[in-house]
Structure 1
């Protein structure tokens, strides 16, 4: 009897310790973002989080006994998991500097690809051909540089024997070392329903012979790219930029983090005018703005914009909306 009571007491202590440890660990995990997958028939979301100084990517499956599943973790910065579509099948991708890994939508790993081209500088997933199949666009560096040497466009291909084995097929390669590109993304700046490719480059320009960040725009054709706009710069020096339809116009605005003359930063929005970009809105001034991302889609309004800003002493994510010609912080 004594031995049985002692065993029960030990078990109770272990259970209490487990609950305490689980609670401490849960409170130490800071979730940065959660995004539901496109298939509404399954209750799965992608998440990015931090646990002390460890970055984590994974999935949240509300229908599984193990609700959280980690796909990737590192002390280094991680790119959020990305959903792709091919032949009406959905997969998940995770990136590191040397390659990508493929997972089923439930988080089972099915393949990984290492790139001989070198380190991945930037990437984006987009349906460039409007055929409901995703493409992968990469900037890579063979020389371990800060900037890329090449831009490569890949198709996704499935193994005909196994629908759960997917890989890559190169369709286009562009040597761009002279541009010093540091970011790639896609957009539709003129609202014609066809996506363009934008490269963030660091170089001089004929009318501004100083090294600076500049957003270049290229039209995409199945055989390659053609320059659409390679203007000298924006209204002010900028740190980063994204594209989003923030005014429900069916075309994407360019939203940038810009430096002000007093050293502070502000968000600015630019609209395509057929021959270039014209600034149409900006935010109030902040001590600093570190990150920028596309937020939620609001019907009749367009996308919200989220920025990691420092207003007084601390950084926090703020949501911005276009209102009365200004990018204003959304009030709860």
Structure 2
């Protein structure tokens, strides 16, 4: 299973100077995840305060070389955010903020991974899509434009059963998401990435066997282009 790594703030400051401004102590604040788009950095931050730890979405704007200014901060404490990406989901050339959270909903009392898709106009945050369910039970996602259709696509690792997973591709249509294609069921998928137009490479494990496969979308399915078998 994938392990979410929380990067220490001191490490992230080296990568993205001035991300969250000055702090009294680096131990009081850690970065859960972050994404960059243009002159902005979008970060999920865990911050220690008088009442304990709270999670925030923090947006910083580069105002001059080496200097960032915090322009937005919102409490995400009840949502348990763990991943953030920036993408143009509907092809309107406006970037959406995509945040993976782990929470219940009014219609589902079980805590699961869910997506919040938001727009930011420079001052306010707006909900674009916060549906309770997408891609069944999923463990990870990635947004990227790798198909010749409007907008970026959402790629999910969907859990089918214990240690059995598949890749699912969704795209934006009108006011929500539509399943475009799904792969066969594989063992535990530990890595996946887009390697070209209509090409996704995945790494899966089943017992002592490791396989690296290249998949493509074809007529509503994800089919294998090639695979490499590695026995451990």
Instruction: Return the TM-score normalized by structure 2.
Output: 0.81
Which residue number corresponds to residue 230 of structure 2? none
The 5 Å alignment of 1:1-332 reads 96-98=8-10, 99-102=12-15, 116=23, 118-127=29-38, 134-143=39-48, 149-159=55-65, 166-261=66-161, 263-296=163-196, 298=197, 302=198, 304-310=199-205, 313-331=208-226
Aligned residues: 216
Q: Check the 8 A contact 1:139/1:148 in 2, yes or no.
A: no
Q: What 5-or-longer segments of structure 2 have no aligned partner?
A: 228-232
Ranked by relative contact order (alpha carbons within 8 Å, sequence separation 6 or more), the top structure is 2
Q: CA deviation at 1:290?
A: 1.5
Q: CA deviation at 1:256?
A: 0.4
Q: Distance in 2 between matches of 1:97 and 1:308?
A: 30
Q: Distance in 2 between matches of 1:317 and 1:112?
A: 39
Q: What 5-or-longer segments of structure 1 have no aligned partner?
A: 1-76, 80-94, 104-110, 128-133, 160-165
Q: CA deviation at 1:96?
A: 4.6
Point out the structure with the larger strand share.
Answer: 2
TM-aligned CA distance change 1:148 to 1:295, over 3 Å = farther
Q: Check the 8 A contact 2:114/2:134 in 1, yes or no.
A: yes
Q: Distance in 1 between matches of 2:208 and 2:135?
A: 28
Q: Distance in 2 between matches of 1:285 and 1:274?
A: 29
Q: Deviations over 1:49-92 (max 9, x none)?
A: xxxxxxxxxxxxxxxxxxxxxxxxxxxx989xxxxxxxxxxxxx
Q: Check the 8 A contact 1:148/1:182 in 2, yes or no.
A: no
Q: Distance in 2 between matches of 1:196 and 1:330?
A: 31
Q: Deviations over 1:266-317 (max 9, x none)?
A: 0011121222212121111111101233333x3xxx5x32322225633354
SS of 2:133's partner is coil
Instruction: Return the TM-score normalized by structure 1.
Output: 0.58
Q: CA deviation at 1:224?
A: 2.5
Q: CA deviation at 1:113?
A: 6.5
SS of 1:181's partner is coil
* Aligned-pair Cα RMSD in Å: 2.9
TM-aligned CA distance change 1:227 to 1:195, over 3 Å = same
